[in-house]
C-alpha cells in the first residue's frame, strides 16, 4: 500500500490506496511547531497497518513556514570580491510606485555575515582570477567566531563554470564539517546573480530546519515499523527522496499546493483529458494552473512574499506555475472607500474563521454568503452554525452599506468572489493565448466544487470534474507522482550557428548528472525518462519562451524543427512571430523523471435505479444569472457509477458541495468522480 | 443617461475590475516581447485606457514619471483629426515634446481609438522609451544637445496604422533614420499588438455586458476616483508651503533655479511654479508635462499611494507653470534630459510638504536617474551594443525606518537593474564591482540609505560613454534634524593609471580597453537627531560597515569598540544634549 500525508494550515491529510485499489482518506489537526506529530496522529487515526505501507509520500509546509516566520538558521554568504552587497542591492525595483516611504525586503544575511573571497570567472567561464583558498580559511574562521549555522556560496558567473564554487564548498567542509553549506549551482545553473544568490541563501537558511524535521519524521516512521522508501513532494510537481530534500530543501518550498495540480494532470490522463485547468479553492486563497497537453507548466520566476506592492525574495528553483489570489472560503467581504464591495484578500483564516464557525468571527466571508445563498447547508458543517449570526453579520457589514437585504448582500458577495476568481482563471488561460473551450476544469479543495461549475459556464469551459478525493486532493496527487528533477543550464547560443555537438555535449552532461542523482536515490536505469525543453527568444529580447524540444541527441534537421516550434510558441503567447529575426537559445532544461509504480484505482458500484434514493432535501438556492430556484440536494456517497441528473442541483459530501447550475448535466464516472458538462457549445 | 440607474452597482464594479485587468494585461504583454532593455528591465513605459472623451480610466505604470501622460496624448490625436475622422484599427504615433503630454522624443506614444458596433467607445494608448529614434547621438539623447532637431525624429500624432494596415511610407521613413531599426520594429509591433489586445478585451466586455453597462462602469470609475480624492483632501492639513532649489547643471555648467508654492485647501491641491528660470540652452527643458507629472507623483503619495490612477483622482489637482520657463519651454528647446527637471519638481514639492506629511514623505534621496549610455562593439562577438540604464542609489530615512539602499530614483519605479552576468555577456564591459557606497553620510535617528558603487571596465577600444548624474554639487537633504546625504558623481581611471576629476555630466567620452569608469551614487538624507539613535543600533552600523567607528563618535556621539563592536559609552556632547532635552 502507498500512503501520502500532506500538512496543510489547519489539517494534515492522509490518502492511501491499498492493493485492491481502495481509497482510504483521513484528516487530523496540524500540530505546529512539531508538524511530525500531526503526521503520526493521522497515521494512527487511519488505522493503517504500518507493515503494509510500502511507500510513503509527504508534503510539508515546514520549509515555507521557516522562511515566512524567519525561524531558519543564522546564515552567512561567501561571494566574489566586490559583490557582497548584491544581496542587499537586489534589483533596485520599487513596485509600490507612489509610496515614497517604501521598504525593500530585508536581506536574510546581514552585511557583516556577507564575506568576500578573491576569485573571478568570465561570462564565458574562463578563470580571470584564481580562487584564493587562504581567503576561505580566513572567512571560515570569522564565521566560526560569529557562530553561524549555515553558509551559502555564490560566485559571479558560476553558472558558466562551477569549479570555484564547488572547490569552496569542499574546502569549507574540510575546515568545518559540522556547518551546513551549499553552493548556488547545487540548485541552479541559470544566470542572474541576485536571483541565484537569493536562492542559495534561502536554501542554506532552511537546511538545518529541513534536516532536523526530515530526520525526526524518518526516525518516527522507522520506530512505527514503516520501512519502505520515503519521498517528499517538490515544488516542480515531482518528488525526491528524504535525503536529497535535506541538501536542496528550497526545492520543497511549494510542496503541498503543486501536488493538487499534478494530481489534476494524472486524473486527466485517467479519463482521457489532456488539457486541464486545475482549480483549488481553500480557506484563504484560490489557486489555478493550466496543464497544456498533459504537461504541468514549471517556471523558475518564483518569489516569496511578493505582491503588487512588495518586491519579495526570488527563488530560482523550478516551481509549478500557479496563479494564486486572496480569495478563499474565509475571505472577508468589505466596502472600500469609494463604496464598492470587495472580497478578500484579507481572510478570517482558521481562527476566528467565517462567522458560521461560531469562533468569534464577525466579518462576513464567502463561506457565510454561500450559506445564506443556500449553496452550503448549515447541517453539513461539523459544528453548530447559527444562521442568525451569519445573517446579522451580512446585513450589518454589507447589506446596510449597499442598501440591500441580506439575501442580495449574499448574492453580491458571491458575484464579486466569482469575478475575482474568474479574472485569475482568465489570467492563466485567455491572456496566455489559450481558449478555455479546449480545457476541462478539475475543481477541488473545499471551495472549488462550489464555485467551479458557475465559473466554467462564464468562461466557456465545457466540462468540470470534481474528483473523489476533492478535499484531500493534494495528497491523492502525491500518491500518483514520480521522482522529478529539473536541470537548467544557461548558455546563450544563436540557433543558426550553434554547434549540435556542443549542444549534445551539454545535454549529455545534464543527463549524466541526472543519472548520478537517480543512482543515489536507488532508481533503476530503466525507470528514468527524460524530457527536453529549451528556453528561447528572438535576438535582442530578454524574456524567453519555453519550447518543447526534440529528444536527445539533436540532429542537424532538429535545428529547423526547433526554430519552427519556437516561432509557433511565440505566436501563441504573444500573437506575433518575427520569422526574419534570428532566434537564440538561452537555457537548456532537462526534466528527469524516475518513474514510480502507480496504484490501480477501484471502481465504485453501478447506480441502481433512480437517484431519488440519494436525495437529502430540496431547498432554495441562489444561482448567478438565474436567481433563486428550488434545488434538489444529493448525498455523494449514495450516488453510483453512471448516475445522471440535470441542474439545478447540489451534491453534498462531508467537506464540500458541488453546485451544478441550471441546465448543466451531471454524471458520475466509474471511479466516482463527478463530471459536470456545462452545455457550452 | 437615465437607463444607468437600473444597472446593479455590483455589475458595474465587476466590469470596472475587468477594465483594470485588461489594462494590466496590455501593460505586461508588452514587456515580455520587447527587445529594448530600457523597456524590459527599466519598464520605462506606460499603457492606459481612456473613455471616448479621452479621460484616463486606468493606467499601468512601470515608472512613476509617465503618470497621467496617456490621456493628453489621446486628446491631442482626437483634437488634431476630429473624432469623426478616426476609424477602427487606426494607430497614431506621437512623441512631440510640445504637444499631448510630450516628454522627450525617445518616448514614443501610440494611440488607438476603440469602436464597438461603429461607435467610438474608448481609447487605448501606450508610451515607451525606444532605444533610438535618430538624431546626433546613439540612444537619441545627449547631455550636450541644444535643440530638438539633434534629438531625433519628431511625430506629432502621425497615422502609423490605417484601418489595420501599417502605413508603409511612414515606417520606411522611420527605418531609414534610426540606428537600430530591428529593435525598434520589435517595439513598434509590441506596442501595436498590446493596443489591439486592449481593443479586443473592451469589445469582449461590450459583447458580454452591453456597451451601456461598460460606459456606465467607466463613468463610475472616474466618479469614484474623484469622490475618494476629495474626501481625502478634506482630511489633509491645509496651508501654503514654499520651496526653492537649484538644479546643479543644465548640461553646460549653469545651475537652474526652480521654485514652488503649494497651497492645499478643502477643494484644491495647487502647485504654482511661477518664478522658476526661463528655458535654458541645454536639454533639461520640458514641455508642461514634467511639472504636471511631477506634482501628480507627490500628490498620489500623500493622498494614497494605493489608489488606482485615473482622471477622477486628479480632479482636485492644479499646476501652474509660466510659458517660456524651463518647466514649460517653447519649441525648439532641447528636452532629452527633461526627466531630470521632472524629478527636481518632485523633490521640490516633496521637500516643501515633508514637514506637513511626516508619514508619507521622508528625507531626500539620490534624486537623479543617473543615466548611463554606453555604446561600442562587443569584444568577442563584434556586434554593436548600446547600454541605456539608470543607476541605483540611496534613499532618505523617514519617520520610523532607515533609508533604503539600492533603489532607483523616484522617477523610476518597477525598474530592474541589468544583472552583472547579463551585462558582461551582452555588452563590451566587465563589471569590477557592484557594492554599497558606505560614506556614512545621512546621519540621523534614522540613517540615510547608502549609495552604490558600480564600476565598468571597457573590454574594447573606442567605446563611447555618456552620463547624466544630477545632484552632483549640492548634497541630498536631511529632514527633521537629520544630516544631509552625499552627491552623485563618476570618474575615469584609464588603463595608463590617469585618474580624472569627479564629474556629473559627460557626453560621448571615449573609453579604450581596460579604461575604467567608477560610478558613485549618493547616500540618502538622515531623519531626526543622530544623537537620538540608540547606541546598539549605531554599534551594529559600525559592525556592518555602513559607518566607521570615527563617524559613530563624531556624528552619533557613541563610542564603539572597533574590534568587538561593543558600546563603550557616549560622548560628552551627546550626554549634554540628552540632559538639555
Q: What is the pLDDT of residues B97-150, one digit of tens each?
A: 999 888 999 999 999 999 999 999 999 999 999 989 999 988 887 788 999 999
Q: What is the mean pLDDT of chain A?
A: 93
- Closest chain A residue to the Cα of B183, Cα to Cα: A540
- Considering only the beta carbons, identify the residue of A88, A194, A415 that sits closest to B14: A415
Cell digits of residue A537: 527568444
Contact B320, B357 (CB under 8 A): no
Task: Decide if pLDDT at A679 tops 80.
Answer: no
Mean pLDDT of A609-622: 95
Task: Decide if pLDDT at A548 tops 80.
Answer: yes
In angstroms, the separation between the Cα of residue A516 and the nearest Cα of chain B is 29
**For residue A100, which residues of chain B lie inside 8 Å, CB to CB?**
298, 301, 305, 350, 360-362, 410
- Closest chain B residue to the Cα of A415, Cα to Cα: B10
Confidence of residue A681 (pLDDT cuts 50, 70, 90): low
In angstroms, the separation between the Cα of residue A680 and the nearest Cα of chain B is 15
Q: What pLDDT sits at residue A165?
A: 98
B171 touches chain A (CB under 8 A): no
Q: What pLDDT sits at residue A654?
A: 85
d(CA B424, CA B409): 24
B458 touches chain A (CB under 8 A): no
Q: Do the Cβ atoms of A157 and B17 come within 8 Å?
A: no
Report which of residues A497 and B85 the model is more confident about: B85
First to last CA, chain A: 43
- Closest C-alpha to A279, from A395, A408, A428: A428
Q: Do the Cβ atoms of B301 and A98 come within 8 Å?
A: yes
In angstroms, the separation between the Cα of residue B454 and the nearest Cα of chain A is 10
Q: What are the tens digits of pLDDT across the range A43-86? A: 999 999 999 999 999 999 899 999 999 999 999 999 999 999 99
Q: Do the Cβ atoms of A416 and B419 come within 8 Å?
A: no
Place of cell 549555515: A150
Percent of chain A with pLDDT over 70: 100
Task: Decide if pLDDT at A391 tops 90.
Answer: yes
Q: Do the Cβ atoms of B413 and A573 come within 8 Å?
A: no
Confidence of residue B368 (pLDDT cuts 50, 70, 90): very high
Contact B187, A578 (CB under 8 A): no
Q: Do the Cβ atoms of B413 and A85 come within 8 Å?
A: no
In angstroms, the separation between the Cα of residue A99 and the nearest Cα of chain B is 5
Task: Decide if pLDDT at B13 tops 90.
Answer: no
Give me the residues of B, 193-252, that contact A with CB < 8 A. 193, 196-197, 224-225, 227-228, 231
Cell digits of residue B207: 459583447
Task: Decide if pLDDT at A190 tops 80.
Answer: yes
Mean pLDDT of A368-395: 94
Strand partners, B116: B119
Q: Do the Cβ atoms of A93 and B406 come within 8 Å?
A: no
Q: CB count, 10 Å around CB of A5?
A: 28
Contact A271, A283 (CB under 8 A): no
DSSP per position, B306-357: TSPP-TTTTTTEEEE--TTBTTSPPTT---TTHHHHHHHHHHHHHHHHTTT-
d(CA B259, CA B276): 5
CB neighbour list of residue A413: distance below 8 Å, 6 or more residues apart: A333, A341, A343, A364, A366, A369, A394, A398
Task: Decide if pLDDT at A661 tops 80.
Answer: yes
Confidence of residue A680 (pLDDT cuts 50, 70, 90): low
Confidence of residue B444 (pLDDT cuts 50, 70, 90): very high
Q: Do the Cβ atoms of B406 and A123 come within 8 Å?
A: no
Q: Quote the crossing angle between the two packed helices A193-223 and A35-46, to the nearest 10°.
A: 40
Confidence of residue B3 (pLDDT cuts 50, 70, 90): very low
Q: Which of A193-202, B1-10, B50-59, B187-196 has the highest mean pLDDT?
A: A193-202
In angstroms, the separation between the Cα of residue A244 and the nearest Cα of chain B is 29
Q: CB count, 10 Å around CB of B6?
A: 7
d(CA A224, CA B284): 76
Task: Decide if pLDDT at A647 tops 70.
Answer: yes
Q: List the beta strands (DSSP E) in A11-54.
A: 11-17, 23-29
Four-point Cα dihedral A309, A310, A315, A318, nearest 10: -20
Mean pLDDT of A195-222: 97
**For residue A97, which residues of chain B lie inside 8 Å, CB to CB?**
61, 63-64, 300, 305, 413-414
Task: Decide if pLDDT at B265 tops 80.
Answer: yes
Q: What are the tens digits of pLDDT across the range B219-231? A: 999 999 999 999 9
**For residue B193, which residues of chain A lie inside 8 Å, CB to CB?**
574-576
Q: What pLDDT sits at residue B322?
A: 96
Contact A301, A27 (CB under 8 A): no
**Distances in whole angstroms, Cα of residue B519 to Cα of each of A28, A92, A509, B19, B487:** 59, 16, 40, 43, 11
Contact A349, A355 (CB under 8 A): no
Q: What pLDDT sits at residue B531?
A: 98
Q: What pLDDT sits at residue B41?
A: 67
**Distances in whole angstroms, Cα of residue A466 to Cα of each of A279, A443, A452, A605, B373:** 10, 5, 9, 18, 57
Q: What pLDDT sits at residue A245?
A: 96
Q: What pLDDT sits at residue B63?
A: 85
Contact A218, A300 (CB under 8 A): no
Q: B491-522 burial, b if ≥16 CB within 10 A, otherwise e?
A: ebbeeeeeeeeeebbbbbbebeeebbbbbbbb
Q: Give B515-554 as a 3 state SS string.
A: CEEEEECCCCCCECCHHHCCHHHHHHHHHCCCCCHHHHHH
Q: What pLDDT sits at residue B419?
A: 95
B274 touches chain A (CB under 8 A): no
d(CA A624, CA A413): 11
Q: Do the Cβ atoms of B419 and A341 come within 8 Å?
A: no
Report which of residues A598 and A466 the model is more confident about: A466
Percent of chain A with pLDDT over 90: 82
Task: Decide if pLDDT at A509 tops 90.
Answer: yes
Q: Do the Cβ atoms of A543 and B32 come within 8 Å?
A: yes
- Closest C-alpha to B61, from A177, A98, A58: A98
In angstroms, the separation between the Cα of residue A343 and the nearest Cα of chain B is 12
Task: Decide if pLDDT at A522 tops 90.
Answer: no
Q: Do the Cβ atoms of B197 and A101 come within 8 Å?
A: no
Burial of A474 (C-beta count, 10 Å sphere; 0-12/13-18/19+)? buried
For CA atoms B236, B239, B244, B250, give the dihedral sign. Answer: positive
- Closest chain B residue to the Cα of A339, Cα to Cα: B224
Helix (H) or strand (E) holding A509: helix A500-520
Four-point Cα dihedral B269, B273, B275, B277, nearest 10: 170
Mean pLDDT of A289-310: 92
Mean pLDDT of B435-449: 98
- Closest chain B residue to the Cα of A491, Cα to Cα: B425
Contact A537, A544 (CB under 8 A): yes
Q: Do the Cβ atoms of B406 and A88 come within 8 Å?
A: yes
3-state helix, strand, coil in chain B (%, to 5): 30, 25, 45
Contact A349, A330 (CB under 8 A): yes
- Considering only the beta carbons, identify the residue of A110, A156, A192 that sits closest to B544: A110
- Considering only the beta carbons, identify the residue of A91, A100, A112 that sits closest to B361: A100
Contact B379, B460 (CB under 8 A): yes
Mean pLDDT of B145-165: 96
Q: What is the ipTM of this complex?
A: 0.94
d(CA A142, CA A148): 9
DSSP-derived 3-state class of residue B462: coil
Q: What pLDDT sits at residue B347?
A: 97
**Distances in whole angstroms, Cα of residue A506 to Cα of each of A75, A488, A490, A549, B491:** 33, 10, 10, 14, 42
**For residue A570, which residues of chain B lie inside 8 Å, CB to CB?**
33
- Considering only the beta carbons, identify the residue of B183, B224, B420 that sits closest to A338: B224
d(CA B9, CA B109): 34
Q: What pLDDT sits at residue A266?
A: 93
Q: What is the mean pLDDT of chain B?
A: 93
Confidence of residue A350 (pLDDT cuts 50, 70, 90): confident
d(CA A509, CA A592): 13
Mean pLDDT of B459-487: 97
Interface test with A, best of B166, B421, B432 (most A CBs within 10 A): B421
**For residue B433, which residues of chain A lie inside 8 Å, CB to CB?**
82-83
Amino acid at each position: 500500500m502507498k500512503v501520502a500525508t500532506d500538512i496543510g494550515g489547519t489539517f494534515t491529510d492522509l490518502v492511501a490506496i491499498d492493493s485492491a485499489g481502495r481509497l482510504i482518506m483521513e484528516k487530523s489537526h496540524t500540530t505546529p511547531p512539531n508538524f511530525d506529530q500531526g503526521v503520526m496522529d493521522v497515521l494512527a487515526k487511519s488505522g493503517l497497518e504500518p507493515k503494509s505501507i510500502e511507500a510513503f509520500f509527504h508534503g510539508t509546509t515546514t520549509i515555507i513556514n521557516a522562511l515566512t516566520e524567519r525561524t531558519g538558521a543564522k546564515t552567512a554568504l561567501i561571494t566574489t570580491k566586490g559583490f557582497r552587497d548584491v544581496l542587499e542591492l537586489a534589483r533596485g525595483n520599487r513596485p509600490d510606485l507612489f509610496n515614497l516611504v517604501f521598504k525593500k525586503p530585508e536581506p536574510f544575511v546581514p552585511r557583516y555575515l556577507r564575506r568576500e573571497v578573491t576569485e573571478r570567472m568570465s561570462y564565458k567561464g574562463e578563470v580571470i582570477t584564481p580562487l584564493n583558498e587562504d581567503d576561505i580559511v580566513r572567512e571560515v574562521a570569522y564565521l566560526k567566531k560569529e557562530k553561524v549555522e549555515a553558509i551559502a556560496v555564490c560566485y559571479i558567473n558560476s553558472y558558466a563554470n562551477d569549479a570555484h564554487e564547488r572547490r569552496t564548498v569542499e574546502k569549507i567542509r574540510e575546515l568545518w564539517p559540522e556547518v551546513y553549506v551549499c553552493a548556488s549551482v547545487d540548485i541552479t545553473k541559470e544566470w542572474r546573480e541576485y536571483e541565484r544568490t537569493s536562492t542559495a541563501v534561502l536554501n542554506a537558511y532552511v537546511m538545518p530546519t529541513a534536516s532536523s524535521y526530515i530526520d525526526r519524521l524518518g526516525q518516527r516512521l522507522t520506530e512505527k515499523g514503516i520501512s519502505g522508501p520515503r519521498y517528499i513532494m517538490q515544488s516542480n510537481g515531482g518528488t525526491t527522496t528524504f535525503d536529497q530534500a535535506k541538501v536542496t530543501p528550497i526545492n520543497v518550498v511549494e510542496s503541498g499546493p503543486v501536488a493538487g495540480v499534478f494530481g489534476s494532470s494524472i486524473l486527466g490522463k485517467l479519463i482521457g483529458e489532456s488539457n486541464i485547468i486545475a482549480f483549488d479553492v481553500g480557506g484563504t486563497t484560490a489557486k489555478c494552473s493550466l496543464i497544456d497537453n498533459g504537461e504541468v507548466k514549471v517556471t523558475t520566476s518564483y518569489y516569496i512574499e511578493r505582491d503588487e506592492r512588495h518586491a519579495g525574495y526570488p527563488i530560482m528553483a523550478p516551481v509549478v506555475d500557479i496563479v494564486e489570489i486572496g480569495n478563499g472560503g474565509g475571505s472577508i467581504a468589505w466596502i472600500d472607500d469609494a463604496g464598492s464591495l470587495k472580497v478578500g484578500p484579507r481572510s478570517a483564516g482558521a481562527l476566528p474563521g467565517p462567522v458560521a464557525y461560531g469562533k468569534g468571527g464577525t466579518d462576513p466571508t464567502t463561506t457565510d454568503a454561500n450559506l445564506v445563498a443556500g449553496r452550503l447547508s448549515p447541517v453539513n458543517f461539523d459544528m453548530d452554525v447559527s444562521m442568525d449570526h451569519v445573517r446579522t453579520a451580512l446585513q450589518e457589514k454589507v447589506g446596510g452599506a449597499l442598501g440591500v437585504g441580506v439575501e442580495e448582500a449574499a448574492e453580491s458577495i458571491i458575484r464579486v468572489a466569482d469575478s475575482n476568481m474568474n479574472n485569475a482563471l482568465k489570467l492563466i488561460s485567455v491572456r496566455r493565448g489559450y481558449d478555455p473551450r479546449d480545457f476541462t476544469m478539475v475543481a477541488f479543495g473545499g471551495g472549488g466544487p462550489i464555485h467551479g461549475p458557475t465559473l466554467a459556464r462564464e468562461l466557456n469551459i465545457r466540462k468540470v470534474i470534481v474528483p473523489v478525493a476533492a478535499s484531500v486532493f493534494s495528497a491523492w496527487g502525491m500518491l500518483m507522482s514520480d521522482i522529478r528533477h529539473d536541470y537548467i543550464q544557461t548558455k546563450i547560443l544563436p540557433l543558426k550557428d550553434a554547434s549540435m555537438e556542443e549542444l549534445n555535449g551539454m545535454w549529455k552532461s545534464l543527463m549524466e548528472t541526472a543519472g548520478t542523482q537517480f543512482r543515489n536515490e536507488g532508481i533503476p536505469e530503466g525507470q528514468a525518462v527524460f524530457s527536453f525543453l529549451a528556453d528561447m527568444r528572438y535576438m535582442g529580447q530578454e524574456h524567453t519562451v519555453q519550447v518543447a524540444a526534440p529528444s536527445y541527441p539533436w540532429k542537424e534537421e532538429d535545428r529547423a524543427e526547433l526554430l519552427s516550434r519556437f516561432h509557433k510558441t511565440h505566436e501563441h503567447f504573444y500573437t506575433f512571430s518575427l520569422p526574419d529575426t534570428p532566434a537564440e537559445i538561452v537555457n537548456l532544461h532537462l526534466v528527469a523523471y524516475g518513474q514510480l509504480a502507480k496504484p490501480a484505482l477501484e471502481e465504485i458500484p453501478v447506480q441502481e435505479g433512480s437517484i431519488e434514493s440519494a436525495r437529502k432535501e430540496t431547498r432554495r438556492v441562489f444561482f448567478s444569472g438565474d436567481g433563486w430556484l428550488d434545488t434538489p440536494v444529493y448525498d455523494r456517497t449514495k450516488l453510483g457509477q453512471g448516475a445522471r441528473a440535470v441542474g439545478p442541483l447540489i451534491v453534498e459530501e462531508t467537506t464540500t458541495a458541488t453546485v451544478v447550475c441550471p441546465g448543466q448535466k451531471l454524471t458520475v464516472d466509474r471511479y466516482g468522480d463527478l463530471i459536470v458538462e456545462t452545455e457550452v457549445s | 443617461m437615465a437607463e444607468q440607474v437600473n444597472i446593479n452597482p455590483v455589475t458595474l464594479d465587476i466590469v470596472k475590475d475587468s477594465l483594470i485587468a485588461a489594462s494590466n494585461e496590455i501593460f505586461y504583454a508588452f514587456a515580455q516581447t520587447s527587445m529594448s532593455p530600457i523597456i524590459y528591465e527599466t519598464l520605462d513605459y506606460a499603457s492606459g485606457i481612456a473613455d471616448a472623451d479621452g479621460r484616463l480610466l486606468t493606467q499601468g505604470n512601470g515608472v512613476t514619471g509617465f503618470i497621467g501622460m496617456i490621456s493628453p496624448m489621446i486628446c491631442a490625436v482626437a483634437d488634431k483629426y476630429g473624432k469623426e475622422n478616426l476609424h477602427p484599427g487606426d494607430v497614431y504615433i506621437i512623441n512631440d515634446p510640445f504637444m499631448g503630454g510630450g516628454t522627450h522624443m525617445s518616448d514614443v506614444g501610440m494611440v488607438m481609438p476603440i469602436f464597438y458596433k461603429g461607435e467610438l467607445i474608448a481609447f487605448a494608448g501606450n508610451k515607451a522609451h525606444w532605444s533610438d529614434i535618430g538624431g546626433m547621438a546613439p540612444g537619441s539623447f545627449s547631455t550636450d544637445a541644444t535643440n530638438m532637431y539633434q534629438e531625433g525624429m519628431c511625430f506629432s500624432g502621425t497615422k502609423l496604422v490605417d484601418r489595420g494596415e501599417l502605413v508603409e511610407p511612414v515606417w520606411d521613413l522611420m527605418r531609414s533614420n534610426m540606428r537600430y531599426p530591428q529593435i525598434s520594429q520589435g517595439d513598434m509591433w509590441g506596442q501595436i499588438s498590446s493596443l489591439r489586445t486592449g481593443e479586443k478585451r473592451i469589445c469582449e466586455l461590450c459583447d458580454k455586458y452591453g456597451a451601456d453597462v461598460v460606459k456606465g462602469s467607466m463613468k463610475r470609475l472616474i466618479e469614484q476616483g474623484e469622490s475618494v480624492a476629495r474626501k481625502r483632501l478634506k482630511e489633509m492639513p491645509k496651508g501654503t508651503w514654499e520651496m526653492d532649489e537649484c538644479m546643479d547643471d543644465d548640461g553646460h555648467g549653469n545651475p537652474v533655479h526652480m521654485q514652488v508654492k503649494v497651497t492645499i485647501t478643502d477643494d484644491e491641491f495647487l502647485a504654482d511654479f511661477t518664478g522658476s528660470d526661463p528655458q535654458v540652452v541645454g536639454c533639461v527643458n520640458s514641455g508642461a508635462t514634467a511639472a504636471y507629472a511631477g506634482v501628480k507623483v507627490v500628490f498620489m503619495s500623500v493622498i494614497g499611494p494605493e489608489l488606482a490612477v485615473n482622471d477622477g483622482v486628479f480632479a482636485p489637482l492644479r499646476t501652474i507653470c509660466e510659458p517660456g520657463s524651463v518647466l514649460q519651454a517653447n519649441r525648439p528647446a532641447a528636452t532629452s534630459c527633461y526627466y531630470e527637471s521632472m524629478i527636481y519638481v518632485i523633490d521640490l514639492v516633496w521637500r516643501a510638504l515633508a514637514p506637513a506629511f511626516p508619514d508619507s514623505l521622508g528625507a531626500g534621496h539620490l534624486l537623479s536617474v543617473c543615466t548611463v549610455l554606453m555604446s561600442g562593439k562587443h569584444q568577442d562577438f563584434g556586434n554593436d551594443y548600446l547600454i541605456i540604464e539608470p543607476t541605483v542609489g540611496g534613499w532618505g530615512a523617514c519617520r520610523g525606518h532607515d533609508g533604503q539602499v539600492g533603489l532607483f530614483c523616484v522617477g523610476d519605479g518597477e525598474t530592474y537593474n541589468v544583472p552583472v552576468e547579463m551585462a558582461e555577456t551582452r555588452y563590451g564591459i566587465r563589471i569590477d564591482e557592484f557594492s554599497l557606497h558606505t560614506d556614512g553620510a545621512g546621519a540621523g535617528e534614522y540613517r540615510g540609505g547608502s549609495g552604490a558603487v558600480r564600476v565598468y571596465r571597457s573590454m574594447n577600444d573606442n567605446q563611447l560613454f555618456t552620463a547624466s548624474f544630477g545632484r552632483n554639487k549640492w548634497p541630498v537633504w536631511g529632514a527633521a534634524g537629520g544630516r544631509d546625504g552625499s552627491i552623485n558623481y563618476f570618474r575615469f581611471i584609464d588603463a595608463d593609471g590617469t585618474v580624472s576629476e569627479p564629474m556629473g555630466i559627460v557626453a560621448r567620452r571615449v573609453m579604450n580597453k581596460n579604461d575604467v569608469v567608477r560610478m558613485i551614487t549618493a547616500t540618502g538624507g538622515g531623519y531626526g537627531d543622530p544623537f537620538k539613535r540608540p547606541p546598539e543600533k549605531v554599534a551594529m552600523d559600525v559592525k556592518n560597515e555602513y559607518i566607521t567607528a570615527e563617524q559613530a563618535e563624531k556624528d552619533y556621539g557613541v563610542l564603539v569598540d572597533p574590534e568587538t563592536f561593543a558600546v563603550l559609552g557616549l560622548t560628552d556632547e551627546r550626554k549634554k544634549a540628552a540632559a538639555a532635552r
